[in-house]
């Protein structure tokens, strides 16, 4: 079979090529492996890379095709997995300098959904230690490099630090991440990819090392909304019984089908080119028929203050690590540890009071947005910082809090969200447009994102190719 350039094909096109005999899962794996071998020294996306296992999984997919077993559109498709998920045959480090106990290799329903389709796991991508960071840094294993700056090592976004990078490296076509305060959407925004944050409780957390039992959500990153939607359709428990109908419906939807509220609070204090890039995209969408209005989510200052004082994550993570992995406290990344130390002063009574207050804030927010299908704004307000500029703890903390300011809203208010790439900022780095929908409206969020993409184009069409990518 001819060599295949993964970067030139969508997941759906490759799925059709596999079924038409124009390529094989083995050929896709070999192309991904070649891309990784060429790019690993630059990108550093993976904690664990096992080409022999990758090839073996691709071979299983090919044997199934040969026997006329078609288990779904992800059969034979290379997928990277964040090193918080348990994956059979792979150790789990969760960003720590040593492997977690064996029980954290256990696969949960999200990975089992990929297994059921015979997707081929390319490897396990880097994460901030225990997912507690927005920038993607990790002193134990190194920080993946954002492919959009050829001169300086910039943050790839966290905590799913290697996920978006693996997509541009060309070693994966889909990337599994997790999102507690934006950890799918921040790396997607910073690397110019698409990220889906699911509603809490919609996708199972079984088999995933926790940060916050209340706020953690699995999610997926991809190079386009079309690719991300395909993954969503076969993993999501509500949509997966009939993914074909879901995918057909979102392809017929147009921007004119949706009422969109623009939240000005999300535009505050943006770095040069961020707000401008999002506003330009919104103007294009409005010209194409989107019904756009101004809409503010109430009490966002209070939501931000809750986040800045630890949200629920610090308290819940403290409970988890002290009860389950106490020996790992001695190995905590200093940047993670400094945040952890400052944010664990909540008493149990204060924690439960915060839960009640967040429920009330969520109810008020959902009432405020009931008249629109989505609320939008910049995904993150800052340019991905240079790693050299966030070595000082104060500089790190400032950038970390600003990076997550807009994304954490969907987590703390129990919403669903998608980010799509729409521009390059003044530094030439990607800008994301965040689409926030009501909790449980995940399918609608994906549909809106796809309608937007059909007007604005994919990342490659709109932004071009990252300087460091093939």
| Gap between the Cα atoms of 141 and 101, Å rounded | 19
Burial level of 470, CB count in 10 A (0-12/13-18/19+)?
Answer: middle
Task: Give residue-wise pLDDT tens across range 35-88.
Answer: 999 999 999 999 999 999 999 999 999 999 999 999 999 999 999 999 999 999
Quick one: pLDDT at residue 1? 52
pLDDT tens track for 265-279:
999 999 999 999 999
Mean pLDDT of all residues in 435-456? 99
For residue 13, pLDDT over 90 is answered with yes
| pLDDT attached to residue 341 | 64
346 contacts 310 by C-beta, under 8 angstroms: yes
Are 142 and 127 contacting, i.e. CB atoms less than 8 angstroms apart?
no
User: When comparing pLDDT for 318 and 162, which is higher?
Assistant: 162
Angle (CA) 444 215 229, round 5°: 30
Q: pLDDT by residue (tens digit) across 96-141?
A: 999 999 999 999 999 999 999 999 999 999 999 999 999 999 999 9
- Domain span at 247: 6-463
Query: What is residue 22's three-state secondary structure?
Result: coil
> Which of these is catalytic: 24, 80, 96, 159?
159
d(CA 429, CA 273): 9
Model confidence at 342: pLDDT above 60? no
Buried b (16+ CB within 10 A) or exposed e, 324-344: ebeebeeebbebbeebbeebe
Residue 374, in any domain of the structure: yes
Instruction: Confirm if 6 and 32 have CB atoms less than 8 A apart.
Output: yes
Q: Which of 24, 122, 171, 183 is catalytic?
A: 183
Residue 337 lies in a domain: yes
pLDDT-derived band of residue 311, with 50, 70 and 90 as boundaries?
A: confident
* pLDDT for the residue numbered 439: 99
Residue 183 annotated among the catalytic residues of the structure: yes
Q: Is the pLDDT of residue 2 over 60?
A: no
- What's the CATH number where 366 sits? 3.90.1300.10
β-bridge mates for residue 217, sequence order: 179
Q: What CA–CA distance (Å, rounded) separates 414 from 355? A: 12
pLDDT one-digit tens code per residue, 140-191: 999 999 999 999 999 999 999 999 999 999 999 999 999 999 999 999 999 9
Specify if 171 maps to a domain.
Answer: yes
Cβ atoms within 10 A of the Cβ of 308, count? 15
CA 272-273-278 angle, to 5 degrees, is 135
Indicate if 313 belongs to the active site.
Answer: no
Counting the structural domains of the chain, the total is 1
Given a cut of 70, whether residue 345 has pLDDT beyond it is no
* 310 pLDDT tier (thresholds 50, 70, 90): confident
Taking the C-alpha atoms of residue 437 and residue 416, their distance in angstroms, rounded to an integer, is 5
Q: pLDDT-based confidence at 470, cuts 50/70/90?
A: low
Rounded Cα–Cα distance for residues 120 and 333 (Å): 31
In a domain, 29, yes or no: yes
Residue 320 has pLDDT above 60, yes or no: yes
- In this predicted model, what pLDDT tens digit does every residue of 394-435 receive, in sequence order? 999 999 999 999 999 999 999 999 999 999 999 999 999 999
Question: Is residue 290 situated within a structural domain?
Answer: yes
pLDDT band at 293 (very low <50, low <70, confident <90, very high): very high
Which of 47, 82, 124, 197 is catalytic? The answer is: 82
Residue 82 is a catalytic residue: yes
In a domain, 469, yes or no: no
Domain assignment of residue 69, yes or no: yes
pLDDT of residue 333: 84
pLDDT of residue 5: 83
> For the chain, what percent of residues have pLDDT higher than 70?
97
Average pLDDT taken over every residue of the chain? 96
Q: What's the average model confidence in pLDDT over 239-253? A: 96
Indicate if the pLDDT at residue 344 is higher than 70: no
Classify residue 1: in a domain, yes or no.
no
């Amino acid at each position: 079979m001819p060599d295949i350039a993964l970067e030139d094909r969508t997941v759906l096109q490759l799925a059709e090529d596999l079924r038409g005999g124009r390529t094989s899962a083995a050929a896709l794996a070999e192309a991904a492996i070649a891309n990784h071998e060429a790019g690993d020294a630059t990108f550093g996306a993976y904690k664990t890379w096992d080409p022999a296992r990758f090839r073996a999984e691709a071979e299983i997919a090919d044997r199934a095709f040969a026997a006329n077993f078609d288990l779904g559109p992800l059969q034979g498709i290379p997928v990277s997995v964040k090193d918080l998920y348990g994956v059979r045959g792979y150790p789990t480090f969760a960003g720590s300098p040593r492997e977690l106990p064996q029980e954290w290799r256990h696969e949960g329903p999200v990975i089992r959904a990929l297994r059921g389709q015979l997707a081929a796991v390319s490897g396990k991508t880097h994460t901030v230690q225990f997912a507690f960071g927005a920038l993607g840094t990790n002193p134990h294993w190194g920080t993946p490099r954002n492919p959009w700056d050829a001169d300086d090592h910039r943050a790839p976004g966290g905590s799913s630090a290697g996920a978006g990078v693996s997509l541009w490296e060309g070693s994966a076509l889909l990337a599994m991440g997790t999102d507690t305060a934006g950890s799918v959407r921040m790396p997607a925004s910073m690397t110019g990819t698409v990220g889906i944050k699911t509603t809490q409780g919609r996708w199972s957390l079984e088999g995933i090392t926790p940060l916050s039992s209340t706020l953690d959500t699995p999610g997926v990153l991809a190079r386009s909304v079309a690719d991300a939607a395909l993954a969503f359709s076969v993993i999501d428990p509500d949509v997966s019984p009939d993914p074909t109908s879901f995918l057909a419906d979102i392809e017929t939807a147009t921007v004119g089908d949706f009422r969109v509220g623009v939240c000005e609070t999300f535009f505050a204090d943006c770095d040069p080119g961020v707000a401008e890039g999002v506003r330009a995209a919104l103007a294009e969408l409005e010209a194409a028929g989107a019904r756009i209005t101004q809409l503010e989510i109430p009490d966002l200052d209070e939501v931000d203050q809750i986040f800045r004082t630890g949200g629920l994550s610090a308290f819940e993570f403290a409970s988890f690590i002290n009860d389950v992995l106490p020996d790992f406290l001695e190995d905590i990344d200093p940047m993670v540890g400094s945040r952890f130390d400052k944010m664990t002063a909540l008493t149990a009574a204060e924690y439960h009071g915060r839960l009640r207050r967040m429920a009330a804030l969520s109810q008020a927010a959902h009432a405020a947005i009931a008249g629109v299908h989505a609320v939008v704004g910049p995904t993150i307000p800052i340019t991905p910082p240079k790693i050299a500029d966030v070595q000082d703890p104060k500089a790190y903390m400032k950038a970390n809090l600003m990076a997550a300011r807009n994304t954490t809203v969907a987590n703390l208010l129990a919403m669903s969200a998608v980010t799509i790439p729409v521009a390059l900022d003044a530094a030439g780095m990607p800008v994301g447009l965040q689409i926030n929908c009501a909790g449980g409206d995940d399918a609608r969020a994906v549909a809106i994102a796809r309608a937007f993409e059909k007007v604005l184009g994919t990342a490659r069409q709109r932004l071009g190719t990252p300087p460091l990518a093939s």
